[in-house]
Amino acid sequence: MVVTRFAPSPTGYLHIGGLRTALYSYLWARKNSGVFRLRIEDTDLARNSEDALKAIIEAFDWVGLSYDKEVEYQSKRTEIYKEYINKLLQSGNAYRCYMSKDELDRLRASQEANKQTPRYDGTWRPEEGKILPEIPEGIEPVIRIKAPTTGEIRFMDGVKGDIKFDASFVDDFVIARSNGMPTYNFVVTIDDMLMQMSDVIRGDDHLSNTPKQIVIYNALGVKHPNFYHVPMINNPEGKKLSKRDGAMDVMEYKRLGYLPEALLNFLVRLGWSNKDQEIFSMDEMLEFFDPKNINRSASAYNAEKLLWLNSEYIKNASNDRLEKELKFFDLDLSNCSKKEDILNLSKQRANTLIELKSSILLILNEPNSYEEAGVNKFVKEDTIEILKDYLALLERNQDSFSSIEALESLTKPFISDKGLKFPQIFQPIRLALTGSTQAPSVYDILFILGFDEVNKRVLKTLEKNFKNS
């Protein structure tokens, strides 16, 4: 059975790199009818944040990545880790080291002076025929793993292929500190072993941790899972992604008006592809995704691509869905009689839910001012008379507000008879009705507002003569 996990540390908010890793792990488990677990690696008590922890759970709920069983918290598993520390001590695969911090500092300084890679020298490592130093008073020992001293540590990475580390890369590293608290690589290994992880998909910044974890697996006599190390997401210049580039709290994307499906679609394509397909439903992701097809090179964050994807998802979202989403942005359309029409119109132009809200309010709210550049460009000496005549035509034919087609059929002969070009009437009407020249089709706006509201807004504009003061 395929079992995967996502294991964030609650020392900061969940960012998109982490969400992509979670998505890949989720897809591989669900594709294979397996298990996807969420584990919180919260052993760094000094840096843990309750707010960050809540934000991680909130982000999972928002994007709809459901996990199996209860969330596991490493901070609640300390006794389990101690049990396995003792097992390794009893089997001789780990040992107590009494080297003091000052001794370690002197050893490191000496190695650096001799241009050697700093590493533990094995002073307290038990060997056949070796006499260990006398145990010093007042020193609480750390626990070190017995790492191999010859050969190589080798594994097949599902993304990067055959990976080899010389045994000298790993020294007898600490698996439990002097206060008894186990270290990161140890607890990760124990958790993955006990949770029966079959596949570990994670960022390639963890690649250097893998040989250490394999040493622990070997010491426990347990087969290690399949590893997939995913290249990082870079900014468009190929550098580390910053908050300005998009490496922000996942929930910030919600606040900026992105739909979760669009964000997941964007992330699945950052490092993986299925031919030239750009838009994937969740069912399609599950059908086509395979971690073996993750790119070996880093991917580049593309803000324009994310906006485009989001606009496509907004266009294709049901109006009921959009109505619910807009409530998060304090826009309630439940009492709007023309909400279907206004949503159908506005969602064709919106890149984000915030833009969708703005487009809707541009129509629903009577303008308090008029776009100055538009007034200067489109309001001429004859504009007032043209609008008066057009308003009179609309008043005589109020039944034309029954459909967009009727309004169009009424307006086109008027434009032709007056010898006008479309912008000569449509842009001043847009200004009168919305205050902007960037509003949607005039026919749509007229239909949505109805004659009484159109009449009120145009008369007010004529009275003010398009002036803002």
Query: Which residues are annotated as part of the binding site for ATP?
Result: 243
Give dist(CA 456, CA 433) in Å, integer: 9
Which amino acids are annotated as binding site, given as ranges?
243
Residue 29 CA, chain-centre distance (Å), reads 19
3-state secondary structure of 157: strand
Which segments of 92-122 does DSSP mark as H helices, in order?
A: 101-113
Determine contact, residues 404/443, Cβ cutoff 8 Å. Answer: yes
DSSP string covering 374-391: HHHHH--TTHHHHHHHHH
Q: Which of 130, 122, 123, 176 is nearest to 149 (CA)?
A: 122
* Amino acid letter for position 215: V
Give dist(CA 358, CA 283) in Å, integer: 32
**Which residues, 6+ apart, have CB-to-CB distance to 195 below 8 Å?**
3, 5, 37, 39, 72
Phi and psi angles of residue 154, each rounded to the nearest 5 degrees, phi first: -135, 140
* Amino acid letter for position 208: S
Which of the following is catalytic: 243, 412, 456, 464? 243
Pairing assessment for the beta strands 199-203 and 161-166 based on DSSP bridges: unpaired
Q: Which of 173, 54, 176, 53 is nearest to 125 (CA)?
A: 173
Q: Is 243 a catalytic residue?
A: yes
Helix axes of 404-418 and 442-464: crossing angle, nearest 10 degrees: 60
Give dist(CA 41, CA 174) in Å, integer: 18
Q: Distances from the Cα of 449 to the Cαs of 16, 365, 423, 440, 446, in angstroms?
A: 41, 10, 20, 13, 5
Active centre residues (catalytic): 243
